[in-house]
Structure 1
């Protein structure tokens, strides 16, 4: 089954934000269209790997930015989808014109003869002036500006799907020049605003003691289980206390966050500063990590899981920093599928008795491993 839409983005973009936006847009389109849909992300720089997605999707959602217009892979994907649009028979009347849905991700001037990413409503609002990435980064996922842009973009995706281009079988796909040609020798490139380095881009890092303490720093990523009378949260706190007693610098929202917080920023800062991330298995954690909750429910876990997925994707040694913990009554099946699906070591720990804790401490404190 072909996808209702794909989200095309530059290889250099902040993939955490892209995944979150893609999930939000999928839910918004699903609600607006009234039926279940399949969608995919389409990362630039993947060569021919994207051609099947682009050749069969109903709508191409392009996250336009300076990086997007300089990514050759995005240029090839754009060209193939545009070729499909040219195959749509001429229509009479006022049918919605077939075109990609261009998202103003960051301000950018497109190459010659290509359309600008349009404004959504007010040409002077935050989306028009600074783009959706800036809204997310500075105003947050729960802001009115983000919600308004999301609904308008979902409406444009639904409108575009009503006039979807015909699919292209592999044998029918021509070899096309990239839609974003490189400047000729001696010709300056089209001026665009300098790309902004996202604050939350993750780089693989070697664990080091927490600054000023000499102790390794550990961040807990977990969900409050529903209808268990607070048992799971109490176990998390008990594990926090046991690690703290052993000299570990633990970051837990129950003990560290004081006063008003902008939670995405707080979580991002703690994640980047931590030497180890403890992922605590539970059904609610898995559901929220996979963005399968209702909108606005469990966004904190989803945000943390996006960070973890980013490192999982880019760092082959991710499992040395991201440590999987399972309490009694739960199993590996209660962890997100992208964390190894049973092929990665995990720690079975009873926080109430301390059983299983020594092996985890050995790894965190740099001692012998079993």
Structure 2
């Protein structure tokens, strides 16, 4: 028994979920679910098994101590509660937790009920080989978009889901004879389930004018460079190119940035081909002034025709009134309307809650704070697009 065993009670279940590793903050949604689940278990009539509590892995400890606690909890827990999400099947630590727990299950499968799967967020494709999930049943239990969506939007339905998970935990704790495992059973193998599409990735596209073009009134040449990727509309002390800032925030959110590209070059490369460019979530950083360029406007309007659309759009907007001639203020309003109309035609009406990403972002700090919102929008739209493609390919040609 490790020294830490004397400091905390063995948990009855282990909560396995994907979260940004190395973050100094835990996932508030998972923490709330964990608290609600323990509350639902505590409210049940007294049972011989006694109090049922669960282990929630989180940040705040050094790696060695955290690893020891995870190993001990996995070795002693009677049930593994899995919060299924697209990220879960791309997370090496989730993969290793799953393997460590499965090593304790009996060969005849009688203890399979000790693994309690929860649809936490909507999946965009089937689970990897070796993961037995009845996704239709999960959607019926936890809603099409998962329990996290229920927690955010439908509290009553969410609590029904919590109680069903609590019932499954009690069944595992009281009915299944699962012997403790080895505390060293937590593998160091870094490879998650193979051949499963990655959603924790991002392409950043930039549609901006360059100093090689004639800049219209209101464009400050100091904002621009010869490359759109170096567009720098915010010039606070220590400011950096917008795409570089977005990429840094994405990486801090445990997102792999596949590429940072000029939107126009990327769309030209994709035009006329039948193969998709790299199919991952995409973020477009849009310079409003670029829409006054007919060529760029056509590229943006045509990008959606073969479903290679950017799926999240951020529109930095700093109308420096001191540098804009009076006569152009009407043009500024026309440009604002052109931006909204163009995006609505090219990408569809904005999802409620994300309009401010298109409406104008006044400074670098606000931009950085909104990037995680854009990442969620990009991921959700990518999942929907992937589901639509999968459905179309399964139906075949009509």
Give the TM-score taking structure 1 as reference length. Answer: 0.42
